[in-house]
Amino acid sequence: MVPAAMRPKFVIHSAMPPQAVLDHMDRFLASRDLPVEGRVLSRHMCMTVPREERHFWSPSLDVDVVAEEGGSLLRGYFGPQPNVWTMYLAMYAVLILVAGAAVLIAISQWILGMAPSVLLALPLCLVLAAILYLASLSGQRISASQIEQIRSVLDAELHKLEKSAPPAP
């Protein structure tokens, strides 16, 4: 059984060179009335659902396009919107800092001959970290249709690009 990922990843191989993929997606994302919004920056693409359809759990797709023999390799990963992702990282950082402080205080208590009662914070930190992880998985389930929408648009545009390309000599 594959463990659930906080940021699901995928890889796509394309017969088109990276610049052709990026140029096509840049033109596509610049059009109006699309089922997705996004932009192309250097060798990177960002895609998300339109602003009016977004909610707290709405996903964002980041795709890196790199050259490989015979075309390009697209490495994509889904995650929450950047502000939500930053909040999650901040919450995990706080939990790590609290756990670290608890360990240091517990060592001090032990050296002083006191019972290291502050170690009770460690299970609490673990429970809170598990709750954060489960919340992220719940958010993925809530936004599954939007993840599928973004991925299907990317796949359709890549298919159009490869279909419109002149045949290789």
CATH code of 42's domain: 3.30.310.80
Residue 16 placed within a domain: yes
User: Does 76 share its domain with 89?
Assistant: no
The answer to whether residue 2 sits within a structural domain is no
Based on the fold, state whether residues 24 and 73 are members of the same structural domain.
yes
Is pLDDT of 90 > 80? yes
> Which structure tokens are listed for 167?
């045949």
42 alpha-carbon distance from chain centroid: 19
Tell me: do 13 and 76 sit in the same domain: yes
Q: Does a structural domain hold residue 3? A: no
* Residue 38 belongs to some domain of the structure: yes
What digits encode the pLDDT tens for the residues 93-104? 999 999 999 999
- On whether residue 4 sits in a domain, the answer given is no
Tally the domains of the chain. Answer: 2
Q: Is the same domain home to 67 and 95?
A: no
Q: How confident is the model at residue 10 (pLDDT cuts 50, 70, 90)?
A: very high
Contact between 38 and 47 under an 8 Å Cβ cutoff? The reply is yes
CA distance 68 to 87: 35
Q: What is the pLDDT of residue 3?
A: 52
Render pLDDT for 106-123 as a digit per residue (tens, 0 to 9): 999 999 999 999 999 999
Q: Are residues 69 and 14 in the same domain?
A: yes
Which residues form the domain of 109? 85-135
Do 52 and 127 lie in one domain? The reply is: no
DSSP string, 67-105: EETTEEEEEEEEEE-HHHHHHHHHHHHHHHHHHHHHHHH
Q: Are residues 101 and 53 in the same domain?
A: no
